[in-house]
Amino acid sequence: MHTTIQWLLVAFAALFAATLAAVTGFGGAAVLLPVLVLLFGARAAVPILTVAQLIGNGSRVWFNRRELHWRIVGWFALGGIPMALLGGWLFAVAPLQFLVRLLGAFLLLVVVWRHVRPSGPAPFPAPWFAAIGAGSSFLSALLGSVGPIMAPFFLAFGLVKGAYIGTEAMSTVVMHVAKLVAYRQTSILTGPDVLTGLALGPLMIAGSFLGKRIVDRLPERVFVFLIEAVLVTAGLLFLIRGQ
């Protein structure tokens, strides 16, 4: 049984994660995932996160609905849906200890990626988003989220501000729906998991609304420091414990 303090921690993490994602377009899931893993375990944390992120991304789509680039979403979905289904099936059968350590390694790699990544991919045709969607969706089904890896491609295509936030969010919505179908078919998405994710929904929407309002005012360095501190701590913990 989770205590009131633990639920408050989850609520705060959800609000902070949604606000962060609304400002930067990524990073929210990486902040919320370690909290969910610690309280619910890796096997339940990723489905719960997917439900919550579906609501959070859906709200970002709504707040930026006039700036969506639907052609990009369509190409992303073409490659993303089948690979999300495959990744969801693999998540259901992979050993739990392996998944926890994989999550830990991924969180550490997110921090490394932020510091060593190139300036960004060169401009490319829209159909390339089918391959981007395939790779991103497969990894997301296993790891919970790959926003830091996806973001440079949307930016390199020339999407900025609302167009970037909304289009990336709509692509992620498609990916999350496919993941949930796979999780449900493999019986790892339970009723309590769905209810927990839905309970976080209002906080995800509130965070999206707040982030939309402060996107041009927020000191980015504060968020970067907090994100990387959480990611490194959680990543090392998961790698060491592996459970």
Would the pTM count as exceeding 0.85?
Answer: no
Average model confidence (pLDDT) across the chain:
80
pLDDT reported for residue 34 = 82
**What is the count of structural domains for the chain?**
1
As a whole number of angstroms, the distance between CA 238 and CA 195 comes to: 26
Tell the residue number behind the tokens 């969910």, with chain if given. Answer: 36
222: phi then psi, degrees, rounded to nearest 5 = -65, -45
Q: Identify the segments of the chain with pLDDT beneath 70.
A: 1-2, 23-27, 96, 99-100, 114, 117-123, 145, 147-149, 214-228, 230-231, 234, 238, 241-243
* Rounded (10°) CA dihedral 133, 135, 138, 140: -80
pLDDT of residue 71: 93
Alpha helices (H) in 117-160, listed in sequence order: 129-143, 147-156
The per-residue pLDDT for 223 is: 53
Contacts for 20 with CB less than 8 Å, ≥ 6 apart:
27, 28, 31, 207, 211, 223, 227
Instruction: Report, in angstroms and rounded to the nearest whole number, the Rg of the chain calculated over CA atoms.
Output: 16
- 57: containing domain: 4-241
Per-residue pLDDT reduced to its tens digit, 59-90: 889 888 888 999 999 999 999 999 999 988 88
Q: Which residues of 27-60 are buried (b: 16+ CB within 10 A; e: fewer)?
A: bbbbbbbbbbbbbbebbbbbbbbbbbbbbbbbbb
Q: What is the pLDDT of residue 178?
A: 92
